[in-house]
Structure 1
């Protein structure tokens, strides 16, 4: 706890250094209509000090004491000036009412850039949109202390993260979702997942995130949960350059002894270089003379987690109306974690097969770079060139101590596995935006992108010991702990026991889009829309993937050697030298596959104001041509010249959609949406050979898989009581035919296979609330005016019917994977000048929880495995000092709950499959703007 007080004291000291200025704040309205003027400029004459008004017409900035002329201006309005006196430590409140400038209005067309980083602006966009959409902007992510896209999306109604399985939307997991960047498809870095890991994308490069939980024709039809579109930052209105530094303390890891393997050239920064490279002999399935890396771990002290970032941008305007702008950003962050708990497997009656105490040391990094260039030809034509590089690494050392049934003994075994994973994504995009005709009657947008994703798991090392002894040579019993183990006898009965493993995947993706919107009929000046709108376009992507793995097992020839578990490499070298142990590369040629997936799609959408300003309809359809191809060799083939097996699938899908929006009044809407979508098998699921993942799970693909057909229905009522406020309630239902499920396969070993399982459904209720407290309690209290609360709740029911599928599952009817019966997010924020009038502080408390959800289906009489409910409580204090400095305190996972998986058995009992804690994190962040 002392670390928290130190952090708090540092904030107070820094704040006091900037308390000599005064605050200038106020509001700008239209003198004729009384409406707030968004984006008006307010500045001190003869200085660069000032601000622009936000979505509510409000402005605020700090200034040195003195007397000034304060100027407010905006295109189409007369410039207005008021004299003010700024006093140190005090607020100066000035309100403007701008009068229209008739002459300027005749000569100038108002062109502005919407601030879609703002929560208020996104709320207005949501209210006016023809279709259902939700969004979260950079402003909200900053206030809530959100560091990446995945964490941001989990704040949206009906979306949760399931450990190691990614995001679940309305109870639907990875295969039912999509992700794009600026509307263009990007590849996944995980061969077993469809959607790229959204945790790769730092919030520093994000302007806003659009979440589409209903289908419209411009979206790819391969989803039923959500399509997440990451909109990245483009040119700034004003030049800027920011730097940031953060340090974080984890209650379970920081300062503790940390076991790891530091083999790569720059693994601290997340780059392995050649440190873990595959030996050239292994590529030919030959035994190398030696391996580069040791089985002996290093022990270090876990440092505080740290983060570094910098960003900058500028817009250059030219006299002929042209402009060139850029924005660039770079960041690096790392994290130390220690997860200690248990890991068990069970028989159907509840007795354990394996029962381990587990301890995992995880060091992870994220490096992000962005460089985007914007070119404006004129106010109606612009082109943007986006470039991103992302590198993520995870270096994990897992220790398992306990019962290992394969030994056939009662004494415990000890296993250690080091797994290093590195993923990189390169994204390059060219995007254009054009407008033509009066009132922008015709709008054209287009984009083209190339992405390369790579994923490596180089030199995974695992070693298993039996016949354990302590430091005195005494035999280890079940009463001892892993810390007592001094030596153990090498155990290598099966290839998975003790081995080295490499895997390498790369995926190229080309993505294209072009879309147009043409308006005709009566023009609505208030809403800037035509009564009739026709949209049509084309989008496509072309993916190609290569994947290959290599494995070398440790084989005992004579008597298994006894090894020092703190330095096994020395004993292993000696055993190899005397011939009692040898490496045996796996000589098979079914370890490589290539795959391709192409989608060409054409879409049409017709929008009609059936009753002007009251009832709007959008009806359309999408036609998708799908092509999938996988190339592999027969399972277990030892012939390098064995012929390739080519499996292709071609599909044609017509996907209709209908959206209705009824405007009850200027503050509320009723929305309805219905559509049909599809779910395609993933490339890796169509390959019929066994692949063993790092967690030991063995999965066999199925070339006979068919697409799933999905019918989607949504109905929602939404109210926008005041600016930035919302109350909505909605219901949804989805019916999925030929749903693809992972089931236990009938075989001599435990393995899983994908099958078309028949019919599934998911249905639920979603409620969302955002409210300023002063609009609830009409007391006029300033504290209430500066306080907001938000909440969203999802109630869910789901079922998968496996009665028509082949498999050894225990329950033919069960919930869908990851589908929680309830999900809730709550947040409360307060804005205050608590420490000084020159320091704006925002305090935010967030809490989330979910109901027990299915993590794995039981088989052969064993019950299903559930992830038990737990709550997450976070606190963020952001401080903006002198318009130049930020000093923030973020406290995450304050409840530090147990994360637990439990299996239910037919006799009514339960058993813990896995449990661990993440620890409490306290982070102090400093930013400075030049």
Structure 2
């Protein structure tokens, strides 16, 4: 009896206590995203641990004692606001919040919302609600997967892969010339004379809020588009002031195992010093040392970042985010072989049975992002980014060279130092004049200097008593100086105007009109000084590690060797005049689109863009003295995107567009660039391709951080551009409109799934991600077309072929476990990630030779990161754990012949960060 009375008393006490409380409930939705619910918005009683978050439907409910409280409202990292709120006992207060850009009143609570696209759930929500078809990867996912640069980031998305040994990104099997790179929506220049796009691995993820990959064309994008557009969105400060220090160390198993990690002694370790082209270079020996240094191959990194915000007036806010970092890294290639000039029968004219490579790279980055929010409707942002990278590499080849080392006793050493400085300055503005009218504008000035100061190339024959210099041809021993400067000006302006009013404040349509301008100038100059030993000194024994003992002023004066350029010796007027090419590109575009919501489930965007393009080239090179060429095009580019919501969790999307692919400066400049086993040169008669693109996508979002999607796509390309071996004695590679047509079709599947998670606290979860792509490509190869349109001749081995750079299969998979404790102040995230691409063509085969093919490679990474408390974090990353062999073969009729193979080693890095 007493037991029952006790239970009844407790129940009555609970009822009385509850009656003394009030209930706060409601739904939070997003006005700018069709009033979709906002999951995980926070409502907190400040000074206590009493808090709730909205569920997947944007709903929240909790009880509070009667009284007045300071309530803190935030959403996914949005700018936090605090206000006094009065709760009345026994009453339920319903607050349905509609968040959009700017300020909104929640009864007594005022909330300012800004989107935080660093989080995976926020990016998935944006992907779900956007009309366009795109993929985003944010800072949170980059950290979880141990990604340290933007190139590694985009490779983690569906249908994207990276070419080994380069920064080349392939989107849906389409390589560098078919893709585009932007930052905050503005084009950025290439930092490589041989590339259209900037090498994405120079961008550390510390500067990134998120990376967006557009695979479907819309009228706001430049029309030079076929594979995808990679947009890097720079980090902006939000919330409380922060200051963070990061330090790290790294090592490569190949480099650590090397007893003698060799590099050219001339460049310095900072990545900033640069050897200048010597004066009196043909008559005096004013060159830097040819000596070699032995290094201790252990790298590291240090970085600082921080941000602060200040209120300006009643509604303004000034925010600053800045970061600076320096990192260096050592890598070595082992178990290497390299072959070149392979005949159709498999005869190898350059057979290097031993290939070693030693690499030291640095990256120095500084960025400042200043945002001034004048009020809820007007915002201006200035972004300035400086990146200096250096890459110092020593490649050593030993083996057989026809007519130079027929006994297999050849030894070639190439020391290459590349230094790149990139300076990006952007000013962007957003202005909302009324609920219907918004103006967006932006402008940029970018500058790139890409230099190869003093690449040294030396060829030897190993004899019984030592090494002799091989000088049968003057270029066998040379020093090469290359300078590239590129300046670019960009301007964007667009106006959005809502139309077709359907109520008090909603509109069914939006009209967008705008202008884009891009003006780019490139100046390129290169000089190669050849050092030919005279006949009486061809047999002199030299030490490859101390060539200064042979190449010096005394021996030049005494006639041991002679110095010349491709123009001749010192006796030839203008012999030191460099090879040059200069390129100008002007693109002026007007665009418009109309977006219309037919009903809550169906939205379409119809766009039209017109571009006037002019690309002018001038050159003076060894292949073509004093020439000029101009390419002009007027492009009319329609696009259509349709989104149909099957329900609140599933969408169907359709897209169609026409675009083009413009040849790049280096592809049209008749300048020859020599590598150890291959020579590349441009084709002035190259012209643009036209592309027709079609996409159909289904996607489902079971929860806020899960997605299932399947995409079918097709592309038809008129006059596709390819790399191919042309008919020549040295089997050089050039760039050709190789046929009348080509097409690509494929399927992409993406899955992000929580295997389990604790529903109430979300403190433990196991999640998995998988994206798989299948791609089929085919193109016509037409010898007669090439002969009729150029002064080059080719003899394609096949009449049809797959696209260069296109893998049939691409896959990425990851498995992550997350747990947190100590009231969510500490956590651990462990991730296993795997990337795979199948065989892909590197260059098309000619003259009965097969295609050069990169063989399939899979890489396995492991990442573990821990936040020990609110301030201290540590991490361990192991990349390329299985260390597979990287192979390239020439597919000949009698079987594959190895072109190149090596192993990259496993990279291990440790990191430590502290946030004040």
Normalising by structure 2, report the TM-score: 0.87
Which position in structure 2 is the counterpart of 1:929? 915
| CA distance 1:404–1:250, shift in 2 (3 Å) | same
- Give the alignment partner of residue 840 of structure 1, picking from 811, 815, 827: 827
Task: Return the alpha-carbon distance in structure 1 between the equivalents of residues 127 and 530 of structure 2.
Answer: 57
Partner of 2:744: 762
SS at match of 2:424: strand
Q: Which moved more, 1:812-821 or 1:575-584?
A: 575-584
Q: How big is each residue's C-alpha offset from its partner over 1:736-768, in whole Å with a ceiling of 9 and x where there is no partner?
A: 001112222233432233221221111100000
> Which residue of the partner structure matches residue 604 of structure 1?
592
Matched, 1:918 2:912: no
Match of 2:561 among 566, 581, 584: 581
More deviation, 418-427/698-707: 698-707
Q: In the superposition, relative to structure 1, how do residues 729 and 321 fare at CA in structure 2: closer, same or farther (>3 Å)?
A: same
3-state SS of 1:31 partner: strand
Say if 2:799 is the partner of 1:812: yes
Give 3-state SS (helix, strand or coil) of 1:412's partner: strand
> Which residue pairs with 1:556 in the alignment?
533
8 Å contact from structure 2 (residues 747, 775) kept in 1: yes
* Structure 1 residues 402 and 716, CA gap change in structure 2 (3 angstroms): same
Residue 139 (str. 1) matches residue 133 (str. 2) = no
Partner of 2:650: 668
Contact 2:727/2:847 (<8 A) preserved: no
C-alpha displacement of 1:578: 3.2
Distance 1:311 1:181, change over 3 A: same
State whether structure 2 residue 664 is matched by structure 1 residue 682. yes
Which residue of 1 is the match for residue 472 of structure 2? 493
Residue by residue over 1:381-423, the C-alpha shift from the partner in whole angstroms, topping out at 9 and shown as x without a partner, is 0101110000111000111111111326224211111000011
For residue 724 of structure 1, give the secondary structure of its aligned residue in structure 2.
coil
Partner of 2:634: 652
Instruction: Decide whether the 8 Å contact of 1:80 with 1:98 is kept in 2.
Output: no
Alignment correspondent of 2:295: 300
SS at match of 1:237: coil
In the alignment, what sits opposite 1:258?
Answer: 261
Q: Secondary structure at the match of 2:439?
A: strand
Q: Is the 8 A contact 1:189 1:453 kept in 2?
A: yes
Aligned equivalent of 1:419: 416
Preserved contact between residue 157 and residue 793 of structure 1 (Cα < 8 Å): yes
Partner of residue 327 from structure 1, selected from 321, 326, 330: 321
Query: Any idea what SS the aligned residue of 1:384 has?
Result: strand
Match of 1:208 in 2: 210
1:22: which partner in 2?
Answer: none
Contact 2:271 2:390 in 1 (8 A): yes
Corresponding residue of 2:524: 547
TM-score of the two chains, using structure 1 as the length reference = 0.85
Alignment check: 8 A CA contact 1:621 1:654 kept? yes
- 1:392 correspondence with 2:378: no
Could you report, residue by residue, the CA deviation over 1:122-163 in whole angstroms, capped at 9, with x for unpaired residues? 100011101111111111111111111110000110000012
State how far apart, in whole Å, the 2-side matches of 1:495 and 1:524 are.
80
Determine if the alignment matches structure 1 residue 518 to structure 2 residue 500: no
How many Å apart are 1:244 and its aligned residue? Answer: 0.4
Q: Deviations over 1:289-347 (max 9, x none)?
A: 22332222112222x22111110111101342111111100111111011021001222
* Contact in 2 for aligned 1:597/1:683 (Cα 8 Å): no
Aligned counterpart, 2:126: 125
Q: How far apart in 2 are the matches of 1:790 and 1:108?
A: 39
Q: What SS does the aligned partner of 1:805 have?
A: helix
Return the alpha-carbon distance in structure 1 between the equivalents of residues 733 and 833 of structure 2: 39
Give per-residue Cα distances to partners, 1:692-720, cap 9 Å, x unaligned. Answer: 24445333333322220100000000001
Q: Give the superposed CA RMSD.
A: 2.9
Shift of residue 55 of structure 1? 9.3
Map of 2:871 onto structure 1: 884
Q: CA deviation at 1:606?
A: 0.6
Indicate whether 1:858 and 2:861 are aligned.
no
Tell me by how many angstroms 1:916 deviates.
1.0
CA distance in 1, matches of 2:190, 2:57: 42
C-alpha change, 1:615 and 1:71, in structure 2 (3 Å) is closer
Q: Aligned in 2, Cα 1:928/1:783: closer, same or farther, shift over 3 Å?
A: closer
| SS state at 1:45 partner | coil
Q: Hey, what does 1:279 align to over in structure 2?
A: 278
1:86 alignment counterpart: none
Q: Which shifted more, 799-808 or 732-741? A: 799-808
Aligned counterparts of 1:514 and 1:720: Cα–Cα separation in 2: 34
Q: Does 1:592 align with 2:588?
A: no
Find the residue that maps to 1:125 and give its secondary structure: helix
| 8 Å Cα contact 1:834/1:841 also seen in 2 | no
Structure ranking higher in strand proportion: 2
Alignment equivalent of 2:26, drawn from 32, 52, 70: 32
- Partner residue of 1:245 out of 237, 247, 251: 247
- In 2 relative to 1, CA 343–781 (structure 1 residues): closer, same or farther, beyond 3 Å? farther
Over 3 Å counting, the alpha-carbon distance change for 1:503 and 1:781 in structure 2 is same
| Aligned 1:353-432 pairs, distance under 5 A | 353-356=349-352, 357-407=354-404, 409-432=406-429
Unaligned 5+ segments in structure 1 are 1-28, 59-68, 83-95, 474-486
CA–CA distance in structure 2, aligned partners of residues 250 and 300 of structure 1? 13
Q: Does the 8 Å CA contact 2:254/2:331 hold for their aligned counterparts? A: yes
1:845-891 Cα shifts (integer Å, max 9, x gaps) = 11111111111222222211211112111111111122111111111
Quick one: structure 1 residues 615 and 77, their matched pair in 2 at CA, closer, same or farther if it must change by over 3 Å?
farther
CA distance in 2 between counterparts of 1:434 and 1:656 reads: 28
Work out whether residues 349 and 905 of structure 1, in 8 Å CA contact, stay in contact via their aligned partners in 2.
yes
8 Å contact 1:71–1:81 — kept in the other structure? no
CA contact (8 A) 1:44 1:70 kept: yes
Give the whole-Å Cα distance in 1 for the aligned partners of 2:780 and 2:771: 30
Pairwise CA distance, 1:43: 6.6
User: SS state of the match for residue 594, structure 1?
Assistant: strand
- Measured in 2, the distance between the counterparts of 1:529 and 1:369 equals 43
Structure 1 SS opposite 2:255: coil
Structure 2 CA distance, aligned partners of 1:838 and 1:784?
11
Distance 1:494 1:835 in 2: 71
Structure 1 equivalent of residue 348 of structure 2: 352
User: What's 1:6 paired with?
Assistant: none
Q: What residue in structure 2 maps to residue 339 of structure 1?
A: 333
Q: Distance in 2 between matches of 1:660 and 1:392?
A: 42
Paired with 1:289 and 1:500, the residues of 2 have a C-alpha distance of 14
| Residue of structure 2 in register with 1:624 after alignment | 611
Unaligned runs of 5+ in 2: 1-22, 29-36, 59-68, 75-79, 99-103, 568-574, 788-793
- Cα distance in structure 2, aligned partners of 1:332 and 1:45: 40
Q: Which moved more, 1:333-342 or 1:107-116?
A: 107-116
Distance, in Å, in 1 between the alignment partners of 2:52 and 2:586 is 46
Of 186, 197, 218, the residue aligned with 2:220 is 218
SS of the residue 2:857 aligns to: coil
Q: Is the 8 A contact 2:265 2:289 kept in 1?
A: no
Residue 728 of structure 2 corresponds to residue 747 of structure 1: yes
SS in 1 for 2:222: coil
- 1:16 paired residue number: none
Q: Aligned-pair distance for 1:645?
A: 3.1
> For residues 596-617 of structure 1, what are the alpha-carbon distances to aligned partners after superposition, in whole Å with 9 as ceiling and x for unaligned?
001000101011112x111111
Q: 1:709 aligns with which of 690, 698, 710?
A: 690
C-alpha offsets along residues 338-371 of structure 1, whole Å, 9 cap, x if unaligned? 1021001222111221111100110011111001
Distance 1:780 1:663, change over 3 A: closer
Q: What are the within-5 Å matches in structure 2 for residues 95-110 of structure 1?
A: 99=95, 104-105=105-106, 110=111
Per-residue CA shift, 1:540-561, capped at 9, x if unaligned?
1100000000111111222312
